[in-house]
Amino acid sequence: MDRRITKKDDDASDKGRPTLKTLAFMTGLGVTTVSRALKDAPEIGAETRRRVQLVAKQIGYRPNRAGVRLRTGKTNVISLVLNTEHELMSFVSDIIYGVTEVIADTPYHLIVTPYSRSQDPLDPVRYLVETGSADGVIISRTQPNDPRARYMLERGIPFATHGRTDMGLVHPYHDFDNYAFAGEAVRALAGKGRTRLALVTPPVGLTYYRHTVNGFADALSEVGASEVPFNTVSIDQSIEQIRMRTAQLMRRKDRPDGFVSSAAAATLAVVAGIEDAGLQLGRDVDVVSKQSSKLLHLFRRELLVVNENFRLAGSELARAVLGWIGGADPGTLQSLSTPSEVLPYRG
């Protein structure tokens, strides 16, 4: 009953932002009550609850992240782990935008955790887990047997992968159906009478490399076309490398008359290489390419494109991680995006 006004209590007029103590002072309640009232705890009277929430809204109370984090361990952070040393990763911004779109009306912040080519990809993940810097993690460049996924599964930290794994372990992911993409691409080329096809593969070692290669191979035998090996090239090589190797290939007598390319930037290089060899797109050879922006048709209208939506990927990944953090079953947080049909240039 002796609620004396001490030095500690009169901070309502302090310069800082309002805290639970401020709210407690204003409402005449204890901090505990205020805390519980704000999160709709059942043991707080309905009227008190409304009153506290009203005052909180009025003065613009925002929980102090450090306080919450220190007490509960909850960071309200999700981390996007990125390899920062690959030539052309324009889609990265799309993924980021997709993620922020989803977390916009949650208390979550997005931190970007980079790692360089020289580092073990496990390093940044280990750092995040060891320092408890995030409640959830999103990784890309996923491998069939991915040590990062295994590690996080062991440590029990929620995560989602961009691309699937193949370890018999279940976890959230979002993936583009690259098997279907490669298949559609081959069929489209076959439809144009192309019979000798080359594949510009994803980086060897990543899961979607296998998916793409398999989709390509299966469709080849389905349509009765043959493969022209082009193993010296993959999309994370430099533009110059791809261009040069393509030109070499196209100068050979047994050159392909069709390409399937797994990335837009690589496609630019491939086309340049084709033209370096004195050949013409649409006449001597056709190219089907994935793209994330809508720009390839401006580049050469003869290109055939399939769109991959990375913004959607970002959103799905964010949704998946948040879902897992929220206690959902990881097995239900997996999604696969079906490629659009193969699109020719139109007007």
Residues at the contact surface with DNA, assessed by CB under 7 A: 3, 8, 11, 16-17, 19-21, 28-33, 35-36, 38-39, 43-46, 48, 63-64, 66-68, 70-72
280 in Cβ contact with 250 (< 8 Å): no
| Residue position matching structure tokens 């000798």 | 196
CA atoms within 13 A on the CB side of 332: 8
Strand partners, 289: 261, 305
d(CA 271, CA 243): 8
**Residue 174 CB, nearest distance to a copy of itself (Å)?**
19
Q: Are 160 and 320 in contact (CB under 8 A)?
A: yes
46 binds, among DNA, a copy of itself, none (CB under 5 to 8 A by kind): DNA
Tokens describing residue 343: 């699109």
CA 59 to chain centre: 37
Task: Report the C-alpha gap between 322 and 318 in whole angstroms.
Answer: 6
CB of 210 to DNA, least distance (A): 43
Partner whose binding site includes residue 271, from a copy of itself, DNA, none (CB under 5 to 8 Å by kind): a copy of itself
- Binder among 12, 41, 54, 104 for a copy of itself (CB under 8 A): 104
Residues numbered 251-270 forming contacts with a copy of itself, rule: CB under 8 A: 265, 268-269
- Tokens read off for 302: 């003869």
Selected from 30, 114, 191, 326, the binder of a copy of itself by CB under 8 A is 114
| 60 or 229: CB nearest a copy of itself | 60
Tokens linked to 167: 């370890």
What's the rounded Cα separation, in Å, for the pair 226 and 223? 9
Stretch that binds a copy of itself, among 46-54, 125-133, 138-146, 151-159 (CB under 8 A): 125-133
Q: Which stretch binds a copy of itself (CB under 8 A): 59-67, 148-156, 186-194, 199-207?
A: 59-67
Among 10, 30, 45, 90, binds a copy of itself (CB under 8 A): 90
Which of a copy of itself, DNA, none is residue 104 near (CB under 5 to 8 Å by kind)?
A: a copy of itself
218 burial (CB, 10 Å; 0-12 / 13-18 / 19+) is: middle
* Closest to a copy of itself by CB, 141 or 171: 141
Q: How far is the CB of 101 from a copy of itself (least distance, A)?
A: 7
SS3 at position 159 = strand
Largest Cα–Cα distance of the chain, in whole Å?
Answer: 97
CA geometry: angle 333, 155, 125, nearest 5 deg:
85
Which residue of 6, 13, 118, 131 would you call a contact of a copy of itself, by CB under 8 A? 131
Residues that bind a copy of itself (CB under 8 A): 17, 60, 62, 64-67, 69-70, 75, 77, 82, 84, 88-90, 92-93, 96-97, 100-101, 104, 109-114, 130-133, 239, 243, 265, 268-269, 271-272, 293-295, 298-299
